[in-house]
Amino acid sequence: MSLVSNVGWSIAEDGVDPQRVPQRRLYTGAMMPAIGLGTFGSDHVPGQEVAEAVKGAAAVGYRHFDCAAVYGNERLIGAALQEVMAGGVRREELWVTSKLWNDKHAEADVIPAFMQSLHDLQLDYLDLYLIHWPFPNHHAPGVDVNSRDHNARPYIHAEYMKTWRQLELLVDRGLVRHIGTSNMTIPKLELLLRDARIKPAVNEMELHPHFQQPALFDFVRRHGIEPIGYSPIGSPGRPARDRTPDDTVDIEDPVIVEIAARHGIHPAVVCIKWAVQRGQTPIPFSVKRRNYLANLQGVVSDPLTDDEMKAIAGIDKGCRLIKGQVFLWKENQDWRDLWDEDGVIVQ
């Protein structure tokens, strides 16, 4: 399976045939690869390195890429995708996601922000466009945990719907195939499902063995919304603003370590296998070929046993890593206020 292109990009001999990678069927009938490559360099991996990883990952069989304007690397990834397509991968074989950043929620800003991502990614449509966070509160790249947006606000449903209506227009215009949410909660999704003309196809949410979010996971699946799981390995490289002393480490959990030893794989790969078998779509980040290849190979080989799946179901610690403190809107608030833990939208 060697396909040499005139630009130097080619499919790797030791890669995984993309046709073997499990797919998720969305409510539209479209198929989405059940594993994607994350592209957030966590404020320390330069865009060029991430773009190289996109090319390398495509060469070993990835077809799904999770991008966002705020990651600051879409132009470089766009050039990488061009090389991949020049090397013989058809646009229809790719699944490319981008996200609307929080400072572009105003009605007049949404479509220009989308067009900027489309332009940077050098594509003429996207497969999926998400509202990155349900708040217009934002921060500059690289800020610390105490940084706050002075114009920050709580979730205001009427405002969110104005933003959502603009995403619906993008679907109407054929510029994006699916729209979806990210960092949502059940009460917020209930309102969106009530009011949306085009319902979300996916919800991107933090999901790893120590943070399984069973209630939200079940809720979205019950409503025909596919869960995309971010930080599937427990985000060992996350920025300092997303670390607290109480955080637990998935890849050091004895259950994960023991299963890894039994299968002869890295604990990170156990997290990825578990995610795909459970029914979510993980989007692990890596810029190391050995690691992103191992993650992809993990989902096409040697499944976890029922007992192993049960053992991992038992190690949920409710340990949210991406707490979102920088998006808080009042003095002396707790980050839990972002997540509506009592089932009511916190104002």
* Residue 53, helix vs strand vs coil: helix
User: Which is nearest to 99 in space by CA: 116, 75, 87?
Assistant: 116
Task: Please say which residue, 117 or 182, places its beta carbon nearer to ligand NAP.
Answer: 182
Does position 287 bind ligand NAP by CB under 6 A?
yes
Binder to ligand NAP among 104, 139, 210, 238 (CB under 6 A)? 238
Please report how close the Cβ of residue 217 comes to ligand NAP at its closest, in angstroms: 15
Binding mask 78-117 for ligand NAP (x = CB under 6 A): ----------------------------------------
Binder to ligand NAP among 283, 326, 328, 345 (CB under 6 A)? 283
Please report how close the Cβ of residue 283 comes to ligand NAP at its closest, in angstroms: 5
Please report how close the Cβ of residue 234 comes to ligand NAP at its closest, in angstroms: 5
Does position 211 bind ligand NAP by CB under 6 A?
no
For residue 201, give the amino acid letter. Answer: A
Q: Which residues of 130-161 are buried (b: 16+ CB within 10 A; e: fewer)?
A: bbbbbbbbbbeeeeeeeebbeebebbebebbb
User: Which residue's beta carbon is nearest to the bound ligand NAP?
Assistant: 38
Q: Is 230 labeled as catalytic in the residue annotation?
A: no
Could you tell me how many residues make up the chain?
347
Please report how close the Cβ of residue 295 comes to ligand NAP at its closest, in angstroms: 5
Task: Please say which residue, 74 or 204, places its beta carbon nearer to ligand NAP.
Answer: 204
Task: Please say which residue, 183 or 212, places its beta carbon nearer to ligand NAP.
Answer: 183
Considering just the CA atoms, what is the radius of gyration of the chain in Å? 19
User: Which is nearest to 291 in space by CA: 260, 262, 269?
Assistant: 269
What part of residues 121-140 is at the interface with ligand NAP (CB under 6 A)?
132
Burial, 274: exposed, middle or buried (Cβ in 10 Å; 0-12, 13-18, 19+)? Answer: buried
Residues 6 or more apart in contact with residue 295 via CB below 8 angstroms: 35, 268, 269, 272, 284, 286
Please report how close the Cβ of residue 136 comes to ligand NAP at its closest, in angstroms: 15
Q: What's the Cα-to-Cα distance from 313 to each of 186, 209, 264, rounded to whole Å?
A: 21, 7, 21
Does position 234 bind ligand NAP by CB under 6 A?
yes
Binding mask 32-51 for ligand NAP (x = CB under 6 A): ------xxx-----------
Please report how close the Cβ of residue 241 comes to ligand NAP at its closest, in angstroms: 12
Alpha-carbon distance 191 to 20, whole Å?
Answer: 37
Q: Which one from 27, 62, 71, 125 is the annotated catalytic residue?
A: 71
Binder to ligand NAP among 284, 297, 323, 345 (CB under 6 A)? 284
The footprint of ligand NAP on this chain (CB under 6 A) covers a number of residues equal to 30
Alpha-carbon distance 58 to 80, whole Å?
Answer: 10
Catalytic center residues: 71
